[in-house]
Structure 1
């Protein structure tokens, strides 16, 4: 007796393929979300390690490093100071703090050779869509960090520029007041020269602060935040990170109002002026070389991560009120923020 075998009809096969396609379509967002969650966790771990390194530095020197400081010309950023505390002692020992412009690889051959080809993965957010390593000066290919030190925050009532887009209300209507602001750049275009720099945070220029100076409490003051995603200028992608990489500090020997540097720029730090997640490039104080008010920005959906004075890492939502961000960026304003 011949047995008849039942086969799929073309219609049934197409239905099965359609169902599989729908299931894959439903699964992909979940996979992508899981991957982003893993990247965000790794980013938080990178920042946690930086926080621990800063605490170990403080245990050794009884101060935190300066955010940026001058040597003979361009000096270093705080990243250089923490190298021995993130298992990069050999790199630290291969570099020099002598000679002209130790922090600028375009002018210091020893440090250019030391950092060329070096990738510091702990300085890079895994979600960062930009090339992590670029020429930072003189042909040295090394890391442009995804993270930036917090120098303080800007009181818009004391700036001479027009109301910045996205910055919210002008004047003191937001309640934030700060006396330690000054012009932030004498370079390199009108937009960057409209910037403002603060000395009210953990990493003011040419100042080495102890944790005792964080009178708002270490758990209430940001030390480091993210700058790890594109900004946009009329639809064109702009790199929000420090042009000259992790080594670059400042060329000025002053602190707040007494400033005698030829360019008045500080790299690897920012003074909070714009809401978290701001990606508009054409704003006063924003620029790649280097805007003193480049905003905190990340590729993580909904906000950025930040290291606080106690070494903890917190996610700060884009929806947070602007005055609260400024309070968190200031070490001694007397405003203690809870539940941000």
Structure 2
């Protein structure tokens, strides 16, 4: 058994190190030149430029899918509300009077069907929506928000709706600026399904549940009128305004999704509404009894 290192082995160590140093000095060190470094940086920059749009597109596709799922939940909640009532919720309760009354929104009626029972129980129907007690109920509800919309999710802590959370989805009031009620008026055949102070019976949707929009994304977002407890979060589309195009009268259908917006129909199905949708087709979807023939 060896108990130590011999003198010969110890003396060999400096000789090996000297040989190693000679080898290292003899081998030239290779480094990048400035030109090579710039070429590598340019290649990496080009790859990033190519990949970034793809990454952003993938992220937007994911957000759009989540938005679609939120609207699907709203569609199921509308069906749950209509079950046994044969009617949709009132778009805005107390909006038809002046000064405006309670302003109870259609959203509040869907809370039990979205499994938001604690919020439904806390909301006081006897008080205006902007009462301090009901403002405390208006917290962020994920199903009412589009993930593609940046912060904030709640209104600034000022004004009569201070601290309340938004919705990015508006109830369809109808189509305005056409017929005898031109301007901001709406004729009977141009009304939608979530209107002021009147529950719309399913039997009154003569254009067909699958061909009539109930709720859709709105272009004008994150304002007091889009607080989810505020019944003013219904909209009427200007008769000549395409999807994702602001109009003179305002309150338009649109979204941050490139190329269109999402909407849920009265039968519960969610559909992508392309910006290139013909205006007549769009207006037909937004009315409940216009008599249009729609695909």
Q: Structure 1 residue 9 and structure 2 residue 28: aligned? A: no
Q: For the Cα contact (< 8 Å) 1:123–1:143, is it kept in 2?
A: no
Q: For the Cα contact (< 8 Å) 1:145–1:242, is it kept in 2?
A: no
Question: 1:178-189 maps to which residues of 2 (within 5 A)?
Answer: 179-180=187-188
What is the root-mean-square deviation of aligned Cα atoms in Å?
2.4
Q: For the Cα contact (< 8 Å) 1:112–1:138, is it kept in 2?
A: no
2:90 corresponding residue in structure 1: 66
Q: Against the structure 1 CA distance between its residues 240 and 319, is the aligned structure 2 distance closer, same or farther, given a 3 Å change threshold?
A: farther
Tell me, in whole angstroms, the C-alpha distance in 2 between the residues paired with 1:147 and 1:120: 12
Residue 137 of structure 1 and its aligned partner are, at CA, apart by 4.7
Q: Structure 1 residue 125 and structure 2 residue 119: aligned? A: no
Q: For the Cα contact (< 8 Å) 1:64–1:211, is it kept in 2?
A: yes
2:234 corresponding residue in structure 1: 269
Q: Against the structure 1 CA distance between its residues 137 and 91, is the aligned structure 2 distance closer, same or farther, given a 3 Å change threshold?
A: farther
Tell me, in whole angstroms, the C-alpha distance in 2 between the residues paired with 1:97 and 1:278: 36
Q: For the Cα contact (< 8 Å) 1:305–1:316, is it kept in 2?
A: yes
Residue segments in structure 2 that go unaligned for 5+ positions in a row: 1-22
Tell me, in whole angstroms, the C-alpha distance in 1 between the residues paired with 2:259 and 2:200: 32
Residue segments in structure 1 that go unaligned for 5+ positions in a row: 165-177, 182-197, 230-238, 250-266, 287-293
1:245 corresponding residue in structure 2: 227
Larger Rg: 2
Question: 1:1-340 maps to which residues of 2 (within 5 A)?
Answer: 2-70=26-94, 73-99=101-127, 102-103=128-129, 105=130, 108-115=131-138, 118-129=139-150, 131-135=152-156, 137-138=159-160, 140-159=162-181, 161=183, 179-180=187-188, 200-228=191-219, 239=221, 241-243=223-225, 245-249=227-231, 267-273=232-238, 274-279=241-246, 283=248, 285-286=249-250, 294-338=251-295
Residue 26 of structure 1 and its aligned partner are, at CA, apart by 0.6
Residue 21 of structure 1 and its aligned partner are, at CA, apart by 0.6
Residue 139 of structure 1 and its aligned partner are, at CA, apart by 5.8
Tell me, in whole angstroms, the C-alpha distance in 2 between the residues paired with 1:60 and 1:245: 28
More helix by share: 2
Deviation digits for residues 260-290 of structure 1 (CA, Å, limit 9, x no counterpart):
xxxxxxx01111212211135xx1x33xxxx
Secondary structure of the corresponding residue to residue 306 of structure 1: strand
Q: For the Cα contact (< 8 Å) 2:167–2:226, is it kept in 1?
A: no
TM-score normalised per structure 2: 0.81
Q: Against the structure 1 CA distance between its residues 329 and 46, is the aligned structure 2 distance closer, same or farther, given a 3 Å change threshold?
A: same
Q: For the Cα contact (< 8 Å) 1:228–1:241, is it kept in 2?
A: no
TM-score normalised per structure 1: 0.71
Q: Against the structure 1 CA distance between its residues 59 and 84, is the aligned structure 2 distance closer, same or farther, given a 3 Å change threshold?
A: same
Q: For the Cα contact (< 8 Å) 1:128–1:228, is it kept in 2?
A: no
Tell me, in whole angstroms, the C-alpha distance in 1 between the residues paired with 2:223 and 2:65: 21
